[in-house]
Amino acid sequence: MRPLETLPPTETLEIENGLSLAPRVKLNLTIHPSLPSISKPIDEWQLKRALIDFLKTSLSVSVTVPEEDLQIRRLKDLKKRKRDEPVAHGALFIRDLGFLNSRKKGEESDKEEEDVKELEKKFLDWRRYVAENMDGIELNLEGVKYNLSVEIPASDDFDRMRKDWEELYAFGNRGYSKGGRQEPDTIVLRGVPSRWFAEPRVSSKPSMLVTHTIFSAFGKIRNLNVAEDDDLSKGTDEDDLDIVSGLHCKIVVQFEKYRDFYNALKVLCGRSLQKQGSRLSADYEVKWDKDGFFRNSRSQNQERSSRMQEPAAVRYKTEAPRREPHISQFTTNDTRRKRFKVRIEILLHVLKDFCRLIYEDRIAPK
């Protein structure tokens, strides 16, 4: 595999196990009606045709996008929609970026590093240009007007993520390194097919061994965690069948060197995972770990281990004694019975005094 520092953002990277990282531009789309009180469902097919035509005719370079690379998800129930909520959202994928590699006639360069930086700047400028030109356009679909909002997803913006961790470690003290300069070293990858990281003819679940082999191409690994990502489907609509529980996995990779982490994250940003022999493109999400995944896991394991090794007598002493809540035994009938008893006691007391007076001859009997 070629050095990651010399990989342009428009070039595909071949990695282990028949996998490759193919470049693409991803833009998040949000559609609001011009009139907030709209109650008519948006026509998904017409929306796609309008956006595809815009990309073909309204940019400096005509861009052809297949319909399957334009994902639209409509709001299922417009009656529950608030006035400021969108009627649809989605994502646009532009995978044909070959025109960015073209050079002018007679233009040559022997410095590969300068070429990569120049192409990287060209790629970022063009992506920003497309996002700015699409953002805010008005779409007229069957006489109903809609406004389009476009943004570059955070998981595709490497420079934004780099600024985030530089600010965090400049003003905070949450680094993972034991001494010296604090720098991130862990990548979190979500939305990749589990079967692509499984052992063939053994299981469809992701394998730690296969995953380690694949990501070792980016650098020496310190810690690795891979598991089925059931949380990925929790935030989706009930009718959304694109994400099925158990089909995707979440991979957390901690590298020993900051440089390997840096290069791996930069290469993973702005690319989709493809498998040899498959037409599927896995448009995953990638980010750097700011929550200390392995640090928290290690603390939990140590706490659990110390808890198991602690003698039972000590554990019982440290536990606060349980106190049963006091429950009153009096009911309404008990209260009435108590009042009757008091009245009887008063009557007996009066009779006792009366008898004593008779005995002392202070009053005469009838």
Q: What is the pLDDT of residues 182-205, one digit of tens each?
A: 789 999 999 999 999 999 888 889
In this prediction, residue 187 carries a pLDDT of: 97
Domains in the chain, start-ordered, CATH in brackets? 1-152 (no CATH), 157-293 (3.30.70.330)
Residue ranges, the chain, pLDDT below 50: 105-106, 175, 177, 235-241, 243, 312-332, 335, 363, 365-366
Distance of CA 55 to the CA centre of its chain: 30
| pTM of structure | 0.74
Distant-in-sequence, close-in-space partners of 256: CB < 8 Å, separation ≥ 6: 185, 219, 220, 221, 222
In this prediction, residue 108 carries a pLDDT of: 53
pLDDT 10s digits, 88-114? 999 999 999 988 886 554 455 556 677
In this prediction, residue 319 carries a pLDDT of: 44
